[in-house]
Amino acid sequence: MTATAGWPEAPEALPSPVVDNHCHLDHRAYSKGVEGGLLIPVDEALDRAAAVNVTRVVQVGCDLEGSRWAVDTAAAYPSVVAAVALHPNEAPALAAAGELDAALAEIDRLAASGDHVRAVGETGLDYFRTGADGREAQHASFREHVRIAKRHDKTLVIHDRDAHDDVLSILDDEGVPERTVMHCFSGDAELARQCVERGAYLSFAGTVTFKNAENLREALRVTPADRILVETDAPFLTPTPHRGRPNASFLIPLTVRFMAGIAGFSVDELCRTIDENTDRAFGGAWARRT
């Protein structure tokens, strides 16, 4: 398959299928030197991923428009399932406009719209981009997302940036849903242990390949095999050696091969483990793209 201008070449295909458990197919990617950014059409994105044995994806919403798009896309493509939510950075502005409750009610409706909606996320807390004045709204939004996930028996997908203690505190207070995924895990080995103790799956992105991310590699080493997931967070967090270029599901093999070496698995063993874990994490298998 030929490379689209501006995108890295596809890596060698994986020996067994895996799932990109967190991507944003609707997000306009960025690339230095490419005016206006890039966007891979859904069919092409899924075909390019399937060609390297990334045969299923979880499309994640971050606002109402994106969540509706995720639901519609999952309904149209059997190899895609949807996650719906308001990103924590959306909550303060919605609260200030008096629109947070109505937006959360719409997320609740979308979460109940069918089996192709498997998760509520990405929700959580983000103290990197939102200051102290926005934390109350983030906390309220996160709590309601936890309740929505539990109400509809959906997987909770958590965004946690610089807010580890408060994320765990709210989870403990609300009660951890049966299936919880720590999206783009960003902590150290101790946080990994605490999340696993609460029954969470830890999803590793291309960041685990970065030179300055030894904390993530230590976290991966202590994560039980049955709790490991992989994701792109595409178009962001592109793995080495393509850091700084746009990311897409077809680059997952780079991250998986790196993770296998750190975690002490063969590549095939880790692929099979991730695939099985994803089925459990998202409430059962769904169709593959072939």
Residue ranges for the binding site?
22, 24, 122, 159, 183, 233
Pairing mode, strands 117-126 and 155-161: parallel
Annotated binding site for a divalent metal cation: 22, 24, 122, 159, 183, 233
Q: List beta partners, residue 82.
A: 59, 117
Distance CA 73, CA 59 (A): 8
| Residue indicated by tokens 């962001």 | 236
Amino acid of residue 152: H
CA–CA separation, 121 and 267 (whole Å): 29
Whether the ω angle into residue 241 lies within 30 degrees of 0, i.e. cis, is yes
Question: Given the structure tokens 């896309």, which residue do they identify?
Answer: 73
Query: Are the CB atoms for 120 and 83 separated by under 8 Å?
Result: yes
Query: How big is the chain, counted in residues?
Result: 290
